[in-house]
Amino acid sequence: MTTDRSTSSGPALLEVLDVSKSFGAVAAVQGVSFPLYAGEAHALVGENGAGKSTIVKMLAGVHRPDTGTLRADGENRTFHSPADAKAAGIAVIYQEPTLFPDLSVAENIAMGNAPLTRLRQIDRRSMRATAERLFARLGVRIDPDRPARGLSIADQQIVEIAKALSTKARVLIMDEPTAALSGVEVERLFSVVRSLRDEGAAIMFISHRFEEITALCQRVTIMRDGRHVATEKVEDLSVDDMIRRMVGRDLSALFPKQEVTAGDVVLTVEGLSREGVFRDISFEVRAGEIVALAGLVGSGRSEVMQAVFGVDPYDSGTVVFNGKRLKPRNPRAAMNAGLALVPEDRRQQGLVMDLSIARNVTLPRSGALARLGLLFGGTEKREAESWTRKLQTRFGRLSDAVGTLSGGNQQKVVLAKWLATGPKLLIVDEPTRGIDVGTKAEVHRLMSSLAADGMAVVMVSSELPEVLGMADRVLVLREGHLVAELSRAEATEESVMYAAMGQKVTA
């Protein structure tokens, strides 16, 4: 990745001036100011719960600041609704997906400003063409006519991106658009965003991956606990500086992987196939081992592990766990046998948004925690407390609804929920998606120490540094086939990418 050094000055397209926002007792944002300039990409960084998404929602007209002002083109503006912000030329990609599951992909992209025919009817043909043009620009193949329901997380993310790009906005705000994407898709997104930026749009970009920030952004605003820490040129700061200011202390090594001698084979997958998804997948996992499944988005990584766990069906092959065959399509049996799966789609498959944090953490084990069939608040609370503390989850009270947590903190609750079951084999799909640097190291340390205690871990990850740093072995999938198995020593950025793409990377 290369660093862009184009900078511009002149008046800000959009300016945040001393804004604050509280939710009840939680002061999410306090006195934050920064400018967004035309032709510049501006990063907003901070730990989970620092208040980044709250800023986004104020700029988008979803929340109104309690105090402070927003200024567009030098004029004070009040956005009463998302429609107002849209009218002011602000396009937003929210952290959580905002698609209409029943409508077609093309319609999702066009919603709000659909092209019309002379009779003021929806012009489906041009709507479809727009979607196809945007997908071509992003280098993906998604059928514009299919409904949005059932899209993978990555594809949902891409549709969100296409939706934001379709409005030809002057200000493009992206709240963790890359969280679900792998390197190749991120690069494509960046090249599109760079050209928008060079055409004079102002970009605001949020990510927990610092290499993305240095690759795309010229300016960065750092937040901590809802407060503004600094706004600087990216070139004037090292990544370590950014992290230090964001966390407020020095961070130790990012990937403290412990060396573990692998034990007995716990999981044997043989000849697993599912028509049109993956074919003839065989591998073993030993106790104490961390095995990573790498590959491009859509290569079938998640699908394989979902089939192993029994969420998805498979056509042929066997899954043997601790010497016993696991029945297909029976996740409950898999759980009882000692498997746990942290799914890719956490919001939909992992959490009950209206329930409290404590209930969510202990949900899969309600049976084990209940005495005489009743759940006692005390046990539940202690369990939940210990796991959420280990994962540095930021929240008001354990009794708060999970839906009010920041995106990253919701992810932590899902992780806590499954780690608390004490599984023998943990399958994690994107273990650190949306999780900030400080906690990321903590999640890795936790996984590593659990493995040292004899737990087997299979992780699906799109983040190469994570794969290379954590895995004892890397399995690479491409188009539904297991194309490479690399030992820790063999696994390098080049070797994994080469296997994943089937060709040399020319970057």
Partner 1 sequence: MSVAVTEIHKQDQKPGRSLGYVFRQREMGIVLALVALVAYTAINQSRFLSSQSIRDILLNTAILAVLASGMAVVVITRHIDLSVGSVLGLSAFAVATVMQHNQDLPMVAALALGLGIGAVAGVVNGALVHFGNVPALVVTLGTMYAYRGLTYSWAGGQQVTADEVPRHFLRFANSDLLGVPWLVIIALAVIAGVGVMMRNYRIGRELYAMGSSPQAAGLAGIKIARNTLVAFVISGALAGLGGVLYASRFGTVDAASGNGYELQVVAAVVVGGVAVFGGSGTIWGAGLGALLLTVIGSALAVLDINQFWQQAIVGALIVLAIGADRLVAVRIARSLRKRDSHV
Ligand X SMILES: Nc1ncnc2c1ncn2[C@@H]1O[C@H](COP(=O)(O)OP(=O)(O)OP(=O)(O)O)[C@@H](O)[C@H]1O
Stretch that binds ligand X, among 43-51, 98-106, 326-334, 498-506 (CB under 6 A): 43-51
Q: Please identify which residue in 73, 479, 493, 494 interacts with partner 1, judged by CB under 8 A.
A: 479
Question: Going residue by residue from 245 to 274, which x/- string records binding to partner 1, judged by CB under 8 A?
Answer: -----------------------------x
143 binds partner 1 (CB under 8 A): yes
Q: Tell me the C-alpha distance between 485 and 490, whole Å.
A: 9
Residues 405-424 touching Mg ion, rule: CB under 5 A, are 406-407
Report d(CA 338, CA 454) in Å as an integer: 13
Identify the residue among 7, 11, 18, 101 touching partner 1 (CB under 8 A).
101
The residue with tokens 């209206």 is 354
| Binding-site partner at residue 356 among partner 1, ligand X, Mg ion, none, CB < 5 to 8 Å by type | none
DSSP character string of 443-494: HHHHHHHHHHTT-EEEEE-S-HHHHHHH-SEEEEEETTEEEEEEETTT--HH
| Cα angle 372, 375, 378; round to 5 | 115
Q: What is the DSSP letter of 170?
A: S
- Contact, 460 vs 279, CB < 8 A? no
| Residues in region 39-68 near partner 1 by CB under 8 A | 60, 62
451 touches 420 (CB < 8 A): no
Residue 331 sits in the site that holds partner 1 (CB under 8 A): no
Residue with smaller CB distance to Mg ion, 95 or 302: 95
206 and 200 in contact (C-beta within 8 Å)?
no
The residue from 17, 192, 277, 452 that contacts partner 1 (CB under 8 A) is 277
Which residue's CB is nearer to partner 1, number 185 or number 289?
185
Under DSSP, the state recorded for 147 is B
Three-state SS at 54: helix
* Residues numbered 436-495 forming contacts with ligand X, rule: CB under 6 A: 436
Residue 97 touching ligand X (CB under 6 A)? no
Residue pair 270/308 in contact (Cβ under 8 Å)? The answer is no
DSSP H helices in 12-152:
52-59, 82-87, 105-110, 124-138
Q: Which is nearer to partner 1, 99 or 262 (CB)?
A: 99
| Contact status, residue 147 vs residue 105, Cβ threshold 8 Å | yes
Answer for which of 20, 299, 356, 448 binds partner 1 (CB under 8 A) is: 299
Q: Are strands 316-321 and 324-325 parallel, antiparallel or unpaired?
A: antiparallel
Query: From the list 20, 30, 95, 410, which residue makes contact with Mg ion (rule: CB under 5 A)?
Result: 95
For residue 95, state whether it binds ligand X (rule: CB under 6 A).
Answer: yes
Please say which residue, 30 or 130, places its beta carbon nearer to ligand X.
30
Task: State which residue, 31 or 82, has the beta carbon closest to partner 1.
Answer: 82
Separation CA 484–CA 229 (nearest Å): 45
CA proximity to 331, closest of 310, 358, 303, 313: 310
| Main-chain phi, psi angles of 57, to 5 degrees | -70, -25
Residue 130 beta carbon to partner 1: minimum distance, rounded to whole angstroms: 15
The residue among 208, 152, 500 whose CA lies nearest residue 344 is: 152
Name the residue whose CB lies closest to ligand X. 408
Q: Of 50, 402, 467, 477, which lies in the binding site for ligand X, with binding defined by CB under 6 A? A: 50
38 close to 202: Cβ distance less than 8 angstroms? yes
CB of 27 to ligand X, least distance (A): 8
Q: Which range of residues in 9-17, 22-30, 400-408, 464-472 is near Mg ion by CB under 5 A? A: 400-408
Binding of residue 328 to Mg ion (CB under 5 A):
no
Which residue from 12, 15, 40, 54 is in contact with ligand X, where contact means CB under 6 A? Answer: 54
Q: Which residues bind ligand X (CB under 6 A)?
A: 23, 26, 28, 46, 48-54, 95, 394, 404-409, 436
